[in-house]
Structure 1
Amino acid sequence: MQQFEPDVQEKLNALRDVFFEVLPDTEESIRYKMPAFKVGKHHLYFAAYKKHIGFYPVYGLTEIEDKVSEYRAKNTKDSLHFMLDRPLPIELIKNIVKLKSNL
């Protein structure tokens, strides 16, 4: 994460912290060259880019689609983009982790 500006590093660390707050025993690894977190039977990933943080895969959560649709990446059904110039939607991310851990 050292290659990112301090404000981006802060967001990435906050996102990582969500996993351990929601699922204290979560397994962390690197997969596809991204931080990966085992939630239930699945993995969730995130990565920083020039203007956003990508969060993957986010599908199968029909009960909160209205909330995630604001962050849905264009032409995808499983990627969310959290713009770097906006606060992270921490409560939404917590909800996604909880729901994915139960699938």
Structure 2
Amino acid sequence: MKTMTDHDTYIAAAPEQFRLLLAQLRAQLASTLPDAEEVIEYKMPGFRIGKSIIAGYAAFTKQCGLYLSPGAIAAHADEISATGLKASKTGVTFSARKPIPDDLVERLALASRKDLGL
């Protein structure tokens, strides 16, 4: 994907099977973090408060990722695992066949914000 300047352009350029999923994730994050600014950082869309990225997301060829603070991932590791999703230190990967549940997105975003002291 070429360099994007806003969330709409990023989602429109994502693989077709992920566009609706990414739009829903964006809306969920915007609702959960209403005072956050939508930005493009590290070549992916994210939500920033002050100088801290609270949450970011990305689309790849076969999956998508939600990126948060390490503390948020660690605090919800059991929930992430229970949904059958995979997590790294800072992200959760998911697909159109196995999307990340909205309530988990909300808990993760709020935990990331808290972890970053915002």
Band of TM-score, shorter chain: 0.7 to 0.9
TM value normalised by structure 2? 0.72
Q: How many residues end up aligned between the 2 structures?
A: 100
Percent of aligned pairs sharing the same letter: 31
Give the letter aligned to residue 92 of structure 2.
L
Q: What are structure 1's unaligned runs of at least 5 residues?
A: none
More helix by share: 2
Which of 96, 99, 102 is residue 108 of structure 2 equivalent to? 96
TM-align CA RMSD:
2.1
In 2: Cα distance, 1:35 partner to 1:65 partner: 23
1:60 and 2:71 aligned: yes
Give every structure 1 segment of 4 or more consecutive aligned residues whose post-TM-superposition deviation is greater than 4 Å. Answer: none
In structure 2, the residue corresponding to 1:50 is in which secondary structure? coil
Distance (Å, rounded) in 1 between the aligned partners of 2:108 and 2:51? 14
Q: Which runs of 5+ in 2 are unaligned?
A: 1-10
Matches within 5 A, 1:1-103: 1-3=11-13, 4-5=15-16, 7-38=17-48, 42-43=52-53, 44-61=55-72, 62-69=74-81, 70-73=84-87, 76-103=88-115
Q: Give, as a single letter, the amino acid of the residue that structure 1 aligns with 2:70.
A: Y
